């Protein structure tokens, strides 16, 4: 089976992945001890992670150990170059990056956001599957998951799971 690019992300019911200034505290609304909404199982099937630079910076602000030491991690950035012990900064074309990754042996490729990274991947029609966890909260304004200006794409619902916390997880295959 060939490698897939999978978007695994959470958004508010009104379509936001963050409030202004990158605040994501609304995600805590569905924090339940012992519940990871399938994240650990998902992680077992990926060996590569793609982030936008703002999402990577947000992760660093949490002052926690880097969560993907066992994976190849790319941070999309127009300004930062090179690599550090955890990530490689990438400023080239997304088609080239995804084509290179898919030509290599490996597991699935995980896109963890943010809005610009998702927009770029959707614009080039590079996402194969979307797993979107909908948080029962209306943010009102902020960073939209699906920005205007991307091409139309046909998707098929392959699975949905409703959790007691109110989170609903939707799995879509991109046709």
pLDDT one-digit tens code per residue, 19-61: 988 899 999 999 999 999 999 999 999 999 999 999 999 899 8
Instruction: Report whether pLDDT(133) > 90.
Output: yes
* Domain boundaries 5-174, corresponding CATH code: 3.40.430.10
The pLDDT value given to residue 6: 98
The pLDDT value given to residue 21: 84
Looking at the DSSP assignment, which residues form a beta bridge with residue 174? 155
- Tell me the average pLDDT across 66-72: 94
pTM equals 0.94
Phi, psi of 110 (to 5 degrees): -100, 120
90, 82 Cβ separation under 8 angstroms: no
Alpha-carbon torsion, ordered 112, 127, 129, 67, to 10 deg: -20
Domains of the chain, residue spans: 5-174
User: What is the secondary structure of the chain as a DSSP string?
Assistant: ----EEEEEEEETTSEEE-GGG--GGGGGG--TT--TTHHHHHTTEEEEEEEHHHHHHHHHT----TTTTSEEEEE-SS--SB-SS-EEE-S-HHHHHHHHHHSS-SEEEE---HHHHHHHHHTT---EEEEEEES----SSEESS-TTPPP--EEEEEEEE-TTS-EEEEEEE-
Instruction: Report whether pLDDT(166) > 90.
Output: yes
């Amino acid at each position: 089976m060939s490698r897939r690019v999978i978007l695994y992300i959470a958004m508010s019911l009104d379509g936001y992945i963050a409030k202004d200034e990158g605040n994501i505290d609304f995600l805590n609304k569905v924090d339940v001890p012992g519940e990871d909404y399938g994240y650990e199982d998902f992680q077992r099937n990926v060996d590569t992670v793609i982030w936008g630079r703002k999402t990577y910076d947000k992760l660093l602000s949490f002052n926690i150990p880097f969560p993907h030491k066992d994976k190849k991690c790319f941070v999309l950035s127009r300004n930062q170059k090179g690599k550090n012990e955890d990530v490689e900064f990438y400023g080239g074309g997304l088609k080239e990056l995804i084509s290179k990754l898919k030509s290599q042996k490996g597991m699935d490729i995980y896109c963890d956001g943010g809005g610009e990274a998702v927009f770029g991947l959707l614009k080039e029609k590079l996402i194969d599957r979307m797993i979107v966890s909908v948080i029962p909260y209306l943010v009102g304004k902020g960073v939209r998951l699906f920005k205007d200006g991307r091409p139309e794409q046909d998707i098929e619902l392959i699975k949905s799971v409703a959790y007691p916390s109110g989170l609903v997880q939707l799995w879509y295959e991109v046709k």
